[in-house]
Structure 1
Amino acid sequence: MTLGNYYEATKRVELSTGPLEGDLTADVAIIGGGITGVSAALHLAERGYKVALLEAEHIGWGASGRNGGQALPGFAAGQGKIKALVGAQRAKSLWDMSMEGVALLHEQIARFAIPCDPVRGYLHAAMKPRQVRELEETQEELAELGAPVGRILRGADLRARLASPKYLAALEDGVSGHIHPLNYTLGLAAAAQAAGAQLFSQTRVTKVEPGRTVRVHTPRGVVQAGFLLTAGGAYLGDLMRPLAGYIMPVGTYIMATEPRADVREMIPGNEAVADLNFVLDYFRRSADERMLFGGRVSYSTLPPPSLKHSMLKRALRVFPQLAGARVEYLWGGNVDITQSRAPHFGRLADNILFCQGFSGHGVALTGLAGKLVAEAIAGQAERFDVFAAIPHARFPGGRALRVPALLLATTYFRLRDML
């Protein structure tokens, strides 16, 4: 898998960062330079806090700069699962905040003039009668939540919006949409810098010493801070051992074709699209008229064999029109999933907060997470605590058996996708 990340090749935000050299004192230290980390840095800096963000690679290197770019409300777990976990009232609060996350994303893009090609519009696509019924249930659920409810497109109406023979129906969604996620992440990071936050790249955290003042060790310096946010996601590893068992890194992969004149005809409304399978296909047009198509996963985090061929084969099942298409970019990365697919927020101490487990559903929600962390550190923790009240369990089997246990648990859903 050497073709490269399309987002890196089309980066339009220049950000100047470097490694931490020497010791530093801050009000808040942040581990992780993805959307959660840079959003928290921005909101904290705007509140007047001295912030030091530490990223082991470069800003946006992880899932924030590699994902499908689909920005939508709700949670990977589904609203019904969230309701079962926390009750109807809290579930409604969580939904409302997820809607706020989408609104915040677009507000920040406009406020900071971030060149990330934002587009509104999304289609939830069904390929089986069972999934059409799921779309109808989603309409009812959205109505109960007081959210905008789109039409279910069928027949000629569907073909006019999604020129694929694979789908029976699709639910319109005018709230969700898509962006260039790396440019968005870098734009937020630049805004955080302008607000006074210090961002350090190529600065891997090697040890964290809890205490009234947290000491965060790196190879060339120590940051002392009153608060710490851990936002390393799938790349945190065992740095914070109490958190490690709650998430599983899962590899996900995306391809981009060459620019094509016919891509516009495949999705005339320029919506982002995803199907309803457990191992789903998701795709959209890029700003330069490529087809961006994601769909493979790897629970070992190692790229599947013949990935380029298999990704194109999946895309051709959706759009036979892509016959003869060239794959010009192919990339992947890890997302952090929880056992329930609900996000995992909380505290390891009064002054050590964490946000993780967005489970592939974090483009909008991670930006909101950063805002909620800033509120909590400023003493207004009620909204953060609604997320922190979601119960979570560790993956079974310990470190050695975690992947086999997950594979066994997901086999049922893979088989169900085929029915």
Structure 2
Amino acid sequence: MAAPIVDTDSEDEIPPGWEERVSAQGQVYYANHETKATQWEHPRSGKRKQIKGDLPYGWEKQINDEGVIVFVDHINRKTTYTDPRLAFAEDEKKTPMDFKQKFDGNSTAIQVLQGRDLSGKYAIVTGANSGIGYETARTLAYFGATVILACRNLEAANKCVKVILEERPSAKLEVMHLDLASLKSVRMFAEEYRSKKWPLHMLILNAGVFGLAYTKTEDDLEMTFQVNHLAQFYLTKLLWEVLAASSPSRVVIVSSESHRFSDISLHNISEDKLSPGRNKYKDLQSYNDSKLCNVLFSLHLNKLLSDKGVHCNSLHPGSVMYTSLSRNWFLYKLIFLLARPFTKSLQQGAATSIFCAASSQLDGVGGLYFNNCCRCEPSKAGHDEELALRLWNLSEKMLQTALDREK
């Protein structure tokens, strides 16, 4: 067997005689032991790099008896003179939008967060008791975040917490009831969250329904539209002051490539189109429309909140993954069984949610659509700012009508 080809002259490699170090401000610099000189620019690529954030989970910086800084890995019980964050140093950005693809469709959520410490960060994940939502919550908890599982099924959510704690006893997890088919439940959830005086750094709107027979909620709205869009729109509005007070913070909206098959436009967007009656309802069309609503909501929300330090992005999690989303549609289950060898795992499916929620590559980045941890163009309607504004105003109107009906 031929030996693997090794690029010994990669621009990222440090030449012999050089050493990579980190300044107190997190800037990477390079020491030349032959000339006794230091410089900020990488000796091969000429790029400048920086590290961000705290040490990885389980690490601590100490000063030894000789007065030298060392780094202690408490999990693996080892000590090193090298700052572990060097392995994850990134090229300095000229603008926040200057980022390159580091992960892809094969990356897992855990790989995306490798080297990060999210201790002190608070995250809400809707629909966190199964599928991608569960993997998203589990991964954030693994890396130190306090994760609130916002779920309708409390029994299932508590079972998830038990499993995560068996794997990672130090995980910080909370379960709170949230039924997106009830605007009253959304309001009660937000009131309870605010009463706890917790910050909120990541609001991950993951929950969704698919393939439902025509159903109306207690708020007299079509179920798919309310659960997939309007209730989470309401939740965000109720919590955005907490998000702004906790900035920098992020809102992540799980959409789908199905948004490309919506026919919502400036010419037909209306209350009846968004929440159709029984005679006009088609389950797949309503799902596609709700997913376009997710993309448009994200686009306009980012425009409203980015100057407050809150950035919002939407995403497609992956192709034909078997989750509880398919429980209402037999044909989807059949499609999955046929396509299973070509699909993502749930850890891979959660990677883009995690990337949008916590990757330092997206600091200050919002208003975009991601697939496979990579920015991609949504549909033409998906970046129509006028359509996004029209949806926002209609959502406000429909929400107020439903809330007035409660009184």
TM-score band, normalised by shorter chain:
under 0.3
Highest RCO, 1 vs 2 (Cα 8 Å, sep ≥ 6)? 1
Greater Rg over alpha carbons, structure: 2
